[in-house]
Structure 1
Amino acid sequence: MPLKFGMSKAFAIAFGVMTASAIGGMFTMIILYKTETHNMTMTPPPTQPSTTLPPPPVMRLPKTLVPQKYDIVLWVHLYTKIIVEGNMTNPNITTPNQTMLFTGNSTVHFHCVQKTMSIFLNSKDLTVDAPVVRNKDTNKNVPVSGLKHYDDESDFLEVQLKEPLEAGGNYSLLLAFRGDVSDNLEGLYVSRYTDEASPGEQKLFIAVTNLQPTDARRVFPCFDEPDMKAVFQLTVIHRPETKVVANAKALDGWKYTWFEPTPKMSTYLFAFMVVDNTFDFTTSSTYARPEAVGAGHTNYATDITGRILDFYEGEFEIKYRMRKLDQIALPDLYPAGMENWGMITYQEGVLLYEEGVSSLLHKEEIATVIAHELAHQWFGNLVTMKWWNDLWLNEGFATYFSYFAVDKVEPTFNIVSFISPDSLASSHPLSPAPGDIQTTDEILGLFDSISYSKGAMVLRMLANRVGQNIFDKGINAENENRAPGETARSANSIAEFMGPWTKQSGYPVVSINTTDGRVFQKQFLFNSSKGEWILANINCTGYYRVNYNPENWERLLTQLQINRHRIPLMNRGQLVDDAFNLARAKLVNVTLALNSTLFLKNETEFLPWESAVMNLEYFILMFDRSEVYGPMQAYLQEQVKELYNSFINYTNSATVPLHDHSLQHTQLLAIQLACSSGLPECIEMATEKYADWMESNTTNSIHPNLRSVIYCQAVAAGGKEEWEFAWDRYLTSSDTSEKEQLRRALSCTRKIWLLSRYLDYTLDPEKIRLMDVASTINYIAQNAAGQALAWNFIRAHWNYVSQGDATALIAGVTRRFSTQFELEELTRFEADYDLRGAYRVVSLAIEQTRVNIQWVKENKDVVLQWFEQRTPPAV
């Protein structure tokens, strides 16, 4: 799955276009994946099985049994279409009561490695009975003494036996089970939508799975660990008016649908969907609501999918293994996409694109998510990490390769990259010790920017380091004519290099003193620069920050103001990013960081501006409730004015520079910064265009790229009328991209009562879908007027709002915390609430709040003075 797309465009920008030198190194990642197979393949049975009975397991399943195949029969009782009560369009149609029940049975075939009197599986929220254990070698049943359900985080189901299973034997276990389709986007869950084309209002329902990382056990009893791979053969019993899609290709059937056996795969990749027959699909098996397919909203995704698949097959030199590939746009899903083998699921907003309505930049999000999920068909599905502590091997590789794929099929996107946030003490290594990651909550805590972003950046650095020679060896690693030991030597060299990067948190700072030539952290020396500046980490191929002595910093920042083009574009952005992060770490003065933004008044490229905006956001969060904010706004207005004016002809005429996606990003950033910093002409433009829309009821005067910022700024400047106009459009729009832009804009109002009402709407899934609750509250919390409202709201309604992305919710709502009172409230929250998977992010938030308090105390006065000195005099 991709990292949650509350990031949307920011994620598409966050790691992108790798340098040309890394292209060749891409193949080298295949080498690493091959050499890492000892971490990523199932442990083989021992040649001399022990007769010693194993101790009771703790959290992890014992390795006494090796699953080989599951035969699963699932009967989904859900109705996929229900007429809304009171609708008399067709009185002959009766309205059934919805049932959320599913029942089934499964037979798991397994090999016994070590003698045992118990069979341990995982099962959660299922009623399981009727166990039948059969010795396949003797064709006799093994007597069962009982079933034991473990009421703890292990989710163990123990089948207790009267006679032992013998090492070397082959057995099967039949279990019957029943459970409920979930309302909480986990396991087998229900997604709802409305049939807009029907003569009467109809509610439609989809039963669909989302099992990563540990929710297969909610659907059927299983060995729910990633290295315990098996073949899955599924039969689904469903209502005649429905159809079923699953991992494998369907065989013949009506009420019963049989599927081919899958390749051997992990339980979390098992997937199926039961949906009404009207749920449509293209000839290329892209499924969506019928009106979306009919209007061509799946065309872009369908077009690039084939080209991305071709790219991966050519680069990896391994054909896609499944006989079909379905891609499904779901009304409800968390996260943005899930890489189920042969049946990839997506949120509608990251698969559907409507020409003339969706932002052109939205294509980048769609392409990046699809490329990420398709990369998983090799990295994650075909080859899988042994345990969740090495999640980065799945997500880092998929993130890394996805940008090569996007760059290949859409070269005009020009995606760019940054170092991921990985500097707090409670940050985790890329690859924690297996013993540190045991529970589901601990596993969920790894789905963060470290596993995705740092993982991709470390791989990029490795690709740049190993070069063509290792690549050539690795690409032929399976050649039988290779000299013995060559692959092993390459693997050892890579392991030695990668170990510190994967086993330790954070990243190094390389300090360079140009006056005496000393370099700290790396064991080599520079000669004196004799008054010239020195720039290290050219084009940012290394995963580290660079610090210089004050004299060299001054020369570099002066060079940026005199002639910025002498410094490569990537490094212009990185110098700003390094300066601000080093200042927060107290390695340079905060005024040096602020001085790194002075050259931006004449800068026209997106990357340096994006770097500055991202870093200045911290200053805004810390100071937008203090006297610092006024002078800071005035400075930002002055700096961005020229950039805003350079796009004024495009903006006023509702157009964008079509020839360059990078310029489209820059135009959007210029408007966002100009309006948010209070530039009068920007706010006037936004309010006028919004007023034209309200009057004419057509958005022709607002380009799709610019709607998000114009909607937001107009709602912020307006009142009840502007807000309720946006809310009405949100409720009536069928375009997912438009709805997302409106949902975010609604949070921009400065009216407290409107924000409070909007928060209340998040408790009603008919108004705000559960998957959108966390991001909606976070949008409100980004607004200084909504910060306290959002914090109080999530505490009052924690049990409901935490069903979504609780981790992102806490991270978003606490970003401004910088007072002792807020720290005390957050500490009480940690002690008093059931945090489940959010415990790690709460710990991080507490640590960050302490950092913020100290930072504000130390820097407020000097920052205020710096901005005041640069505030233009009043006219």
Structure 2
Amino acid sequence: MATITRFLETFEPSHYDVYIDINRGNKEINGKSTITGVAHTKPVYIHQKNMEISAVTANDQDVPFSVDNKTESIKIEVPEMGETTLAITYKAPLTDSMMGIYPSYYEVNGEQKQLVGTQFETTFARQAFPCVDEPAAKAKFDLAIKFDEKPGETILANMPEKEEKDGVHYFDTTVRMSTYLIAFAFGDLQGKKTKTKSGVEVGVFSTKAHDPKELDFALDIAKRSIEFYEDFYQTPYPLPHSWQLALPDFSAGAMENWGLVTYREAYLLLDPDNTALDTKQLVATVISHELAHQWFGDLVTMNWWDDLWLNESFANMMEYVAIDAIEPDWNVWELFQTTDVPAALQRDATDGVQSVHVNVENPAEIDALFDSAIVYAKGARMLVMMRALVGDDALRKGLKNYFAAHKYNNAKGADLWNAVGDAAGMDVASIMNTWLEQPGYPVVTASVVDGKLTLSQQQFFIGEGKDVDRQWKIPLNSNYDSVPKIMSDKTIELGDYDKLRSDNGQPFRLNVGNNSHFVVKYDQTLLDDILKNIDTVDSISQMGILQDFRLFSEARQVSYADVVPLLQGFADNQSTVVNSALYRIAYNLRKFATPNTDEEKALKSFYGKLSADQYQRLGWLAKDGDSIDDQLTRPTILNAALYSENSGAIATAHKLFDENKNNLVALPADIRIFVLRNEIKNYGSEELFNKLLDEYVQSTDPSFKSDLSVAITSTKDSRMIAKLIEKFEDSATIKPQDLRAWYRGVLDNSAGEQAAWDWIRNDWQWLEDTVGGDMEFATFITVTAAAFRTPERLQEFKDFFEPKINTPGLTREITMDISIIETRVSLIEDEKAEVNAAVKKAT
């Protein structure tokens, strides 16, 4: 049995009749899975997990079977190969794991309630009903769901309900689809519906703990996203409806179940009257991401999990394409540049990182593939690069042909490249495979050598890295027409620099638009020319200069001490992308300053100098005439001003708190987090701490709850920190889905670091029992590593995690994070004095 990796090779399903009876009271599932298909071998294997199988028939005859929990299988001795109908009767637990079928908990008017939903990606459908739980094992499904129904409750599923009979809800037959995309949910729901131009019914649903107006924004974005995709893909939405459902307990951000997309409440619901623009952008892009999947991932699905990027990278790009089209004033591609791009560049520079395409077999390792910085962010950047190369006309034509060729079936990465390449008349595959199959990315060094402008490529590493002579086909995107579109060689010579500079009349630059996945190291001649003319350079390119400064500083190719004097030259820039890159560097300087020392005091003064003029210009409250950039930059500047201990900023925040203390949720959402955190840090008391914690428990506003979490975890009071740690395992206060954010908040607080680190080491088994097996479990290790910067913490990290290094799904994360901390510790020890001296001199 250990040699079998694909159950589809033994049994190929074509149709399921699934009956599931769910009892919330005794937390039990009883069901029968009837699967029609073709038996290719004797015996056949069907997936199950944590089930008690009571009977199995093949073509209506009882047959011998055995259950192996280690391989999550049922071995069935079918009498013959060929067309076979299997019927499997089973019992399973209804667990609180946020996987399979599970209850979400919430409260309305003091009454505790449950909403039951599903999460089947990656390999959790087998916890709900016996099935061939592999993406290529597509079939049609007839669902029949019975539950301990109460008056007024609603049930939703992938397809419309066709009838309810004797307490059983029967749904229309699905289209041909993968098991991980099956979904249903039931409970006391409210919803709002509309229709697209083409007649698709669109709905948004939530519990009644929320104000109905919180559904309006999502309904509008969902409707317009589907209309956009139908036009862009030139392929109709293939189902009669598209439901969006907010689940109170949900481990992922959202899940693209076909026709019934599920979300964390924070990524679907918002108050239209008081929500920050960046939160609206986030919610909109999450919705459009999931709806992009309805074609790319659902209609055409990756053949196996090694091509997960084919789903996620594409949806990650398309979320920005869609929102940019339906809300052009938001300049949402700038959000891509300030979130996805830096995440991808940082992660992908560490030796040992996974490539976008990764071979995988073990179910535990499948979940580890969901490295957001690689499969989502880098993969999306790779596709943005491809889109810029071929253009939208060829991309749309290629996608239309791709969907037509593979709809209701499965595909591999090569199928996408071939479709787009044929449409573009270009060998897209040979270019993109250099990015897909190799980890990391190149640094292109641009230098003037003997009067000639010369480019060379080499893999870029932060920290130790083994150079194995990787080479990429790099879309250079230069502002000089004589530069080739693609750099395939290790080194190219572009001609006489003085003549090129004279002919073009502007500084030489590469990666204009910052769309290609590489960094540029200019020699001093070229860099000085850019910096001298920086005011003539567009904001994305200015951001790119700062981005590369930061990465080269992290990689020890330049010193942070040399970058510090350059920052003031960007401080008055009004572009949000420039400010984001500027303060990302400033934030990185904090690791060199020991808390509560003169060096930290100097750094705070430097922050004050950087932010003073912008703080004066923007202030705390929105003004008539504020640009989109102003709205998005204000939080960055307020954060900097408060860190600098600007007395005016602190006093104004305190005044705003006092004016709204009886209704804190009414504070303007874009500044609320800073007002609350300022109050805890500078005017904190046990009474205030308890008040905010109570508000967190009582509130149903996801954005407000997030702000409260950040504020509460910033307390410097050791007694309050101890109280917080006690709440980590109290799901009535902190839901397991939100625990990582609370843990990170306390860990990043110098007053709470030790307590948080002690907790995770002492209660690791509890954590593993509670959220282990979830695709985000390994990120608790990532978060821990991100906070550590001393040799002592490095040793403690190794002592604790190295014994766990062979745990499936954790190996790569532990190995990489040890390397990341080692690199950080070495950098700090070597450059600390020099950097702090530069900061002091710059203040």
2:99 corresponding residue in structure 1: 186
SS of structure 1 residue aligned to 2:640: helix
2:787 corresponding residue in structure 1: 816
* Counterpart code for 1:288: S
Which of residues 791, 797, 815 in structure 2 aligns to 1:843? Answer: 815
Q: Cα deviation per residue 1:306-331 (whole Å; 9 max; x = unaligned)?
A: 11110000000111111111111111
Which of residues 648, 652, 664 in structure 2 aligns to 1:681? Answer: 648
Cα deviation for residue 222 of structure 1 reads 1.2
* Counterpart code for 2:832: K
Task: State how far apart, in whole Å, the 2-side matches of 1:252 and 1:62 are.
Answer: 32
Is the contact between residue 274 and residue 669 of structure 2 (CA under 8 Å) also seen in structure 1? yes
Cα deviation for residue 429 of structure 1 reads 0.5
Q: Does 1:826 align with 2:797?
A: yes
Task: Identify unmatched segments of 5+ residues in structure 2.
Answer: 195-201, 406-417, 458-486
* Counterpart code for 2:327: E
Cα deviation for residue 698 of structure 1 reads 5.7
Task: State how far apart, in whole Å, the 2-side matches of 1:348 and 1:647 are.
Answer: 31
Is the contact between residue 281 and residue 293 of structure 1 (CA under 8 Å) also seen in structure 2? no
Distance 1:149 1:656, change over 3 A: farther
Q: Does 1:172 align with 2:85?
A: yes
Is the contact between residue 592 and residue 836 of structure 2 (CA under 8 Å) also seen in structure 1? no
Cα deviation for residue 447 of structure 1 reads 3.8
* Counterpart code for 2:156: V
Q: Does 1:520 align with 2:456?
A: yes
Task: State how far apart, in whole Å, the 2-side matches of 1:213 and 1:331 are.
Answer: 20
SS of structure 2 residue aligned to 1:232: strand
Write out aligned runs for 1:137-176 (5 A). Answer: 141=61, 144-151=63-70, 154-161=71-78, 163=79, 165-166=80-81, 169-176=82-89
2:740 corresponding residue in structure 1: 774
SS of structure 2 residue aligned to 1:526: strand
Is the contact between residue 394 and residue 423 of structure 2 (CA under 8 Å) also seen in structure 1? no
Q: Cα deviation per residue 1:741-785 (whole Å; 9 max; x = unaligned)?
A: 112211111222212211211211111111111111112222222
1:230 corresponding residue in structure 2: 139
Is the contact between residue 187 and residue 211 of structure 1 (CA under 8 Å) also seen in structure 2? yes
Which of residues 548, 558, 564 in structure 2 aligns to 1:594? Answer: 564
1:501 corresponding residue in structure 2: 435
Is the contact between residue 330 and residue 347 of structure 1 (CA under 8 Å) also seen in structure 2? yes
Distance 1:473 1:403, change over 3 A: closer
Distance 1:445 1:470, change over 3 A: closer
Q: Cα deviation per residue 1:81-113 (whole Å; 9 max; x = unaligned)?
A: xxxxxxxxxxxxxxxxx321111010111123x
* Counterpart code for 2:157: A
Q: Cα deviation per residue 1:124-159 (whole Å; 9 max; x = unaligned)?
A: 11112301012xxxxx74x633313142xx322212
Which of residues 492, 509, 526 in structure 2 aligns to 1:535? Answer: 509
Distance 1:624 1:308, change over 3 A: farther
Is the contact between residue 413 and residue 660 of structure 1 (CA under 8 Å) also seen in structure 2? no
Distance 1:623 1:660, change over 3 A: same
Q: CA RMSD in A?
A: 2.5
* Counterpart code for 2:822: R
2:258 corresponding residue in structure 1: 341
Distance 1:456 1:367, change over 3 A: same
Q: Does 1:218 align with 2:127?
A: yes
Q: Does 1:709 align with 2:674?
A: yes
Cα deviation for residue 535 of structure 1 reads 1.7
Cα deviation for residue 467 of structure 1 reads 3.6
Q: Cα deviation per residue 1:653-708 (whole Å; 9 max; x = unaligned)?
A: x43557533321101111011112222221221122213333x54665x3221101
Is the contact between residue 749 and residue 755 of structure 1 (CA under 8 Å) also seen in structure 2? yes
Write out aligned runs for 1:443-454 (5 A). Answer: 443-454=367-378
2:56 corresponding residue in structure 1: 131
* Counterpart code for 1:640: S
- Identify the structure with bigger relative contact order (alpha carbons < 8 Å, sequence gap 6+): 1
Distance 1:382 1:121, change over 3 A: same
Which of residues 3, 6, 16 in structure 2 aligns to 1:70? Answer: 16
Q: Does 1:121 align with 2:50?
A: no
* Counterpart code for 1:551: T
* Counterpart code for 1:594: V
Which of residues 349, 353, 358 in structure 2 aligns to 1:423? Answer: 349
Cα deviation for residue 539 of structure 1 reads 1.3
Q: Does 1:474 align with 2:416?
A: no
Distance 1:703 1:62, change over 3 A: closer
Q: Cα deviation per residue 1:332-363 (whole Å; 9 max; x = unaligned)?
A: 11112111100011111111111333334321
* Counterpart code for 1:274: F
1:100 corresponding residue in structure 2: 27
Q: Which moved more, 1:418-427 or 1:354-363?
A: 354-363
SS of structure 1 residue aligned to 2:608: helix
Cα deviation for residue 734 of structure 1 reads 3.0
Task: State how far apart, in whole Å, the 2-side matches of 1:584 and 1:698 are.
Answer: 40
Alignment size in residue pairs: 763
Q: Which moved more, 1:807-816 or 1:455-464?
A: 807-816
Cα deviation for residue 446 of structure 1 reads 2.9
Distance 1:594 1:610, change over 3 A: same
* Counterpart code for 1:57: T
Distance 1:683 1:423, change over 3 A: same
1:510 corresponding residue in structure 2: 444
Task: Identify unmatched segments of 5+ residues in structure 1.
Answer: 1-54, 79-97, 135-139
Task: State how far apart, in whole Å, the 1-side matches of 2:163 and 2:211 are.
Answer: 25
Is the contact between residue 657 and residue 664 of structure 1 (CA under 8 Å) also seen in structure 2? no
* Counterpart code for 2:186: V
Cα deviation for residue 731 of structure 1 reads 2.7
Task: State how far apart, in whole Å, the 1-side matches of 2:420 and 2:539 are.
Answer: 39
Q: Does 1:559 align with 2:566?
A: no
Distance 1:290 1:145, change over 3 A: closer
Task: State how far apart, in whole Å, the 2-side matches of 1:583 and 1:782 are.
Answer: 22
SS of structure 1 residue aligned to 2:513: helix
Write out aligned runs for 1:405-416 (5 A). Answer: 405-415=322-332, 416=334
2:468 corresponding residue in structure 1: none
Cα deviation for residue 297 of structure 1 reads 1.1
Is the contact between residue 33 and residue 89 of structure 2 (CA under 8 Å) also seen in structure 1? yes
Q: Cα deviation per residue 1:49-108 (whole Å; 9 max; x = unaligned)?
A: xxxxxx863444351321111110000111xxxxxxxxxxxxxxxxxxx32111101011
1:247 corresponding residue in structure 2: 158
Task: State how far apart, in whole Å, the 2-side matches of 1:281 and 1:798 are.
Answer: 42
Q: Cα deviation per residue 1:852-873 (whole Å; 9 max; x = unaligned)?
A: 12111221122122112112xx
Cα deviation for residue 587 of structure 1 reads 2.6
Q: TM-score, normalised by structure 2?
A: 0.86
- Identity, in percent, stands at 23
Distance 1:656 1:839, change over 3 A: farther
Which of residues 208, 229, 232 in structure 2 aligns to 1:290? Answer: 208
Cα deviation for residue 293 of structure 1 reads 5.0
Distance 1:697 1:266, change over 3 A: closer
SS of structure 2 residue aligned to 1:253: strand
Cα deviation for residue 506 of structure 1 reads 1.1
* Counterpart code for 2:114: F
Cα deviation for residue 538 of structure 1 reads 1.1
Task: State how far apart, in whole Å, the 1-side matches of 2:288 and 2:177 are.
Answer: 21
Q: Does 1:729 align with 2:695?
A: yes
Cα deviation for residue 494 of structure 1 reads 1.2
* Counterpart code for 1:567: V
Task: State how far apart, in whole Å, the 1-side matches of 2:366 and 2:312 are.
Answer: 16
Which of residues 343, 346, 365 in structure 2 aligns to 1:441? Answer: 365
Which of residues 774, 779, 788 in structure 1 aligns to 2:754? Answer: 788
Task: State how far apart, in whole Å, the 2-side matches of 1:624 and 1:769 are.
Answer: 33
SS of structure 2 residue aligned to 1:244: strand
Task: State how far apart, in whole Å, the 1-side matches of 2:419 and 2:288 are.
Answer: 35
Q: Which moved more, 1:254-263 or 1:794-803?
A: 794-803
Cα deviation for residue 788 of structure 1 reads 1.9
SS of structure 2 residue aligned to 1:689: helix
Q: Does 1:376 align with 2:293?
A: yes
Task: State how far apart, in whole Å, the 2-side matches of 1:345 and 1:471 are.
Answer: 29
Task: State how far apart, in whole Å, the 1-side matches of 2:549 and 2:241 are.
Answer: 49
Task: State how far apart, in whole Å, the 2-side matches of 1:268 and 1:485 are.
Answer: 26
